[in-house]
Structure 1
Amino acid sequence: MIEDTAIEKIKELRSKTGAGITDCKRALEDSKGHINIAIDNLRKKGLASADKKSSRIAAEGIIESYIHSGARIGVLVEMNCETDFVARETKFKELAKNIAMQIAASPNIQFVSTQSIPQDVIKHEISIESAKDDLINKPNEIKQKILAGRIDKRLKELSLIDQLFIKDSSISIEDLIKQHISLLGENIKIRRFERFILGDGLEKRNDDFANEVAKIIKDN
């Protein structure tokens, strides 16, 4: 018979990972009851199984929305999976909502992944970094190594899946997706997203504050 403390740990591990009861029990046994080690082991197994599913066609899914408090920022994101059954799953819908919230909270991201960044954008970033003063006088070999590292860092700043998850900074959005692939048993993709900022692109009023106050006083 399983002790009450062991049952509680299994419940806690299942709640944190979404893994099956048997997998949670085995992971706790292997980690000698250490929750964090068990989570890491389950995550490694989950990511391995997710990689096998990541090439399968995902043509179903949902379009999720998120409106930030104050209604000044809004997001639409299309999340794809393999079947309509998984698209209706609560866990899938929660994932889509979390991704939409992540987009709202990450003003620098412009693309789903570094692989989806157009070549003209990459060339532009390379031209900016190459022209920086601290690289001008460096030997070419060193310059290219530094440049490669900076470009890699910059492209990841623009990529959604490379961001740290706002609700758990120990994992990236890519890790979060792979965890749900393992949990739901289907390939999951972020296909596209759009961020809306109130008044973006419109010409803003820029009246002189003192004149505006004087006008109000005069009218009253």
Structure 2
Amino acid sequence: MTLEISSALVKELRQKTGAGMMNCKKALQETNGNFEEAIKTLRQKGLASADKKVLRRASEGLVNSYIHTGGKIGVLVEVNCETDFVARREEFQELVKNIAMQIAASPEVIYISTDDIPQEIFIAEKEIELKKDDLTNKPIEIKEKIILGRVEKTLKTLSLLNQPFIRDLNITVEELIKEKISLFGENIKIKRFTRYILGN
């Protein structure tokens, strides 16, 4: 017997995830009405289909700005999608605005992805970790693993895609983008951004 799901619950799940009404209803039925499990199910399915779309060319989109309260921090960001139709959608515009706010709220972020970080920074961070006293008596293999783990953690703080999303700390910006790729059926990419700080 199929579990009867209220339309209010389906609507709430749709607002939370951006997935289609039928997908939301199906996810709730599959998880016996468990809201959190339904979110996980939709994310897993969304991320799987989104991964196939990330290779497609995205040359439409929006440039948007965000000025933080008090006018001391400003952000310009370009986010690309595949068609003008998606670029005009309210959900896409909201996504671009949220990304601009994320950049304003993440002062350490310099790069879009860890892939964009120059090799020199990786080497410099490795050198810093090598000189730390707490690693002195550790065996070489263990020392190497610890150093790589620490460097990776540091580099993630510089990457926008690795940041917890300010409006939902359970997902990263990368997972947010993949959710929207699944929602729109198009590739979405953060192309570039500039952060302005008053006096700098």
Same fold (TM over 0.5): yes
**Counterpart Cα distance in 2 of 1:60 and 1:54:** 14
Please identify, of 131-140 and 75-84, the stretch whose mean Cα deviation from structure 2 is larger.
131-140
TM-score by length of 2: 0.95
**Counterpart Cα distance in 2 of 1:136 and 1:110:** 31
1:66 corresponds in structure 2 to 66
Identity of aligned residues (%): 59
**1:90-113: CA deviation from partner (whole Å, max 9, x where unpaired):** 111111110110110011111001
1:162 corresponds in structure 2 to 162
**1:139-158: CA deviation from partner (whole Å, max 9, x where unpaired):** 21111011011011011011
Shift of 1:4: 9.4
2:44 corresponds in structure 1 to 44
Shift of 1:7: 1.3
Shift of 1:5: 6.4
**1:51-77: CA deviation from partner (whole Å, max 9, x where unpaired):** 110110111111111000000000011
SS at match of 1:161: helix
Shift of 1:34: 1.3
2:93 corresponds in structure 1 to 93
**Counterpart Cα distance in 1 of 2:85 and 2:174:** 23
1:204 corresponds in structure 2 to none
2:146 corresponds in structure 1 to 146
**Counterpart Cα distance in 2 of 1:145 and 1:70:** 44
Question: 8 Å contact 2:62–2:87 — kept in the other structure?
Answer: yes
1:16 corresponds in structure 2 to 16
**Counterpart Cα distance in 2 of 1:27 and 1:46:** 12
Where do 1:62-141 residues align within 5 Å?
Answer: 62-141=62-141
Please identify, of 5-14 and 59-68, the stretch whose mean Cα deviation from structure 2 is larger.
5-14
SS at match of 2:160: coil
- Tell me the matched-pair count: 199
SS at match of 2:37: helix
Please identify, of 31-40 and 168-177, the stretch whose mean Cα deviation from structure 2 is larger.
31-40
Q: CA RMSD in A?
A: 1.6
Aligned AA (1:178) = K
Q: Which has the larger radius of gyration?
A: 1
TM-score by length of 1: 0.87
Shift of 1:23: 1.0
Shift of 1:177: 0.3
Please identify, of 83-92 and 167-176, the stretch whose mean Cα deviation from structure 2 is larger.
83-92
> Which of structures 1 and 2 has the larger relative contact order (alpha carbons within 8 angstroms, sep 6+)?
2
**Counterpart Cα distance in 2 of 1:41 and 1:54:** 20
**Counterpart Cα distance in 2 of 1:122 and 1:131:** 15
**Counterpart Cα distance in 1 of 2:106 and 2:24:** 33
**Counterpart Cα distance in 2 of 1:176 and 1:41:** 15
**Counterpart Cα distance in 1 of 2:55 and 2:114:** 17
Shift of 1:25: 1.3
Shift of 1:138: 2.4
